[in-house]
Amino acid sequence: MGRWEPGARGRLVVAAVDLFTEQGYDATTVSQIAERAGLTRSTFFRHFSDKRELLVAGQETLSKLLSDGIAEAPAGASPLEAVAAGLQRASTAMGPANRELGPRIKAAVAASSELQERDALKSVGMAAAMTVALVARGVPDPTAHLAGELGVLAFKRGYAQWSDGDQDDAGGLAQHALAALEDLRTATASLG
Amino acid sequence: MGRWEPGARGRLVVAAVDLFTEQGYDATTVSQIAERAGLTRSTFFRHFSDKRELLVAGQETLSKLLSDGIAEAPAGASPLEAVAAGLQRASTAMGPANRELGPRIKAAVAASSELQERDALKSVGMAAAMTVALVARGVPDPTAHLAGELGVLAFKRGYAQWSDGDQDDAGGLAQHALAALEDLRTATASLG
């Protein structure tokens, strides 16, 4: 078998999420994930160090895209405009495969307390990455912290709308995430 | 040994947090926690079903206090005024023992990825509890969601200030949490 398997990484993620949903995260082994994806264990280990890492890898990529987008926003951008640039950058990395995966990941997370904890930590990691990137732009605390949390809420709400909605809807994730951010910005006026 | 041990629950929590910090969450056993607290394993099991439950128990109490406070806020209260009532209610349950525990919990969480995940899930649970209580008051989404997140941020920031600060400072947790909520409310004006 050659060293390179086209699409192996994506096939492993889909197989893993399906198995997590069917039988739980704890009961799923690396061998089962590889078999379901039609790949070998050694191919799995060329992509991920273990099944936990399979979940973490996407999170680190996402956090980096969010902070890169924030860092590269124009100098005069407001905190939320910088967050919007981060959401836009992160959205470019999320294609049709991520969209189809959304409902499956949701089902897997609903079925596993361990995945709920990982998912919660993912949100905290994304918020922290955005907050740090905003502070580096000179946004003072707690505005930076608040804007980072709004960014996570907007990403999650936008992703849910994009992923749960009509798959023929041509709008990308960016469109949904930016609309969600605008809804949240508007909502700040009615907090009292 | 009698069925009732005065202060046993609190002693078990302090012993557990210290052991988690010293040797990690995974390596700590129920027997070690009981021994450190000067109690028996059977006393431990009268209070908690396992070491994980020891961490979860406080979270459920806290979420209930937050939502009770929100539910019982005056009918005309704004979303953030209702959140403030929730923070006030939850703060009444946090005394000097919780304050002293703060830095220890922080050290234990910093040392364990499993505790980081639990801590993240705790924040998500608190936000969900507040959001549900706000929706029940008729606060529309996403305002309810946003106000719930602000409540969690305010609680965490207030708790850190209360717990890290001068222990002779006579102000209670409520005072710090409400000041943090006010800071966050003010910060919404500078999001852009």
Q: Are B77 and A189 in contact (CB under 8 A)?
A: no
CA distance A191 to chain B (A): 5
For residue A111, the model assigns a pLDDT of: 81
DSSP state for residue A190 in the 8-state scheme: G
Enumerate residues 6+ apart whose C-beta is below 8 A from B82. B70, B73, B133, B134, B137, B139, B147
Best B117, B134, B155, B183 residue to mutate vs chain A (most A CBs within 10 Å): B117
CA distance B149 to chain A (A): 8
Enumerate residues 6+ apart whose C-beta is below 8 A from A56. A118
For residue B109, the model assigns a pLDDT of: 84
Minimal-distance CA residue of chain B relative to A145? B153
Q: Are A28 and A19 in contact (CB under 8 A)?
A: yes
CA distance A154 to chain B (A): 10
For residue A2, the model assigns a pLDDT of: 44
Minimal-distance CA residue of chain A relative to B128? A120
Minimal-distance CA residue of chain A relative to B181? A142
For residue B132, the model assigns a pLDDT of: 95
What confidence tier does B70 reach under pLDDT thresholds 50, 70, 90? very high
Chain B residues near residue A153 by CB distance under 8 angstroms: 142, 145-146, 149
Long-range contacts of B20-23 (CB under 8 A, 24+ apart): B20/B108, B20/B111, B20/B112, B20/B115, B21/B104, B21/B107, B21/B108, B21/B111
Spans of chain A, pLDDT less than 50: 1-2
**Nearest-10 crossing angle of helices B96-110, B143-164:** 100
Chain A residues near residue B153 by CB distance under 8 angstroms: 142, 145-146, 149
DSSP state for residue A188 in the 8-state scheme: G
- What is the C-alpha separation between A49 and A60, in angstroms, rounded? 15
Structure token digits, residue A49: 């160090």
Chain B residues near residue A142 by CB distance under 8 angstroms: 153, 157, 180, 183-184, 187
The position carrying tokens 């407001």 is A78
Q: What is the DSSP string of A62-115?
A: HHHHHHHHHHTS-TT--HHHHHHHHHHHHHHT--HHHHHHHHHHHHHHHT-HHH
pLDDT in tens, A118-147: 888 888 889 999 999 999 999 999 999 999
For the ranges A2-11, A88-97, B16-25, B129-138, the maximum mean pLDDT occurs at B129-138
Instruction: From residue A120, give the alpha-carbon distance in Å to each of A8, A71, A109, A116, B53.
Output: 27, 24, 10, 6, 18
Start-end of H helices in chain A: 8-23, 30-36, 41-47, 51-71, 79-92, 96-110, 113-136, 143-164, 173-187
For residue A1, the model assigns a pLDDT of: 45
CA distance B69 to chain A (A): 17
Q: Are A177 and A158 in contact (CB under 8 A)?
A: yes
Average pLDDT, chain B: 88
For residue B186, the model assigns a pLDDT of: 94
Minimal-distance CA residue of chain A relative to B118? A117
**Cβ contacts from A onto B, under 8 A:** 83
Structure token digits, residue A109: 């997370």
Partner-chain contact B142 A77, CB within 8 Å: no
Q: Are B142 and A184 in contact (CB under 8 A)?
A: yes
Partner-chain contact A142 B190, CB within 8 Å: no
User: Comparing A168 with B36, which gets the higher pLDDT?
Assistant: B36
Nearest to B184 among A79, A146, A183 (CB): A146
- Is the pLDDT confidence value at B2 over 60? no
- What is the C-alpha separation between B71 and A133, in angstroms, rounded? 37
For this complex, say whether ipTM is above 0.85: no
- Is the pLDDT confidence value at B3 over 70? no
Nearest to A121 among B120, B157, B188 (CB): B120
- Is the pLDDT confidence value at B107 over 50? yes
- What is the C-alpha separation between A83 and A89, in angstroms, rounded? 10
Q: Are B154 and B136 in contact (CB under 8 A)?
A: no
Per-residue pLDDT, averaged over B129-149, amounts to 95
Which pTM was predicted?
A: 0.84
User: Comparing A163 with B78, which gets the higher pLDDT?
Assistant: B78
Minimal-distance CA residue of chain B relative to A123? B120
Partner-chain contact A192 B79, CB within 8 Å: yes
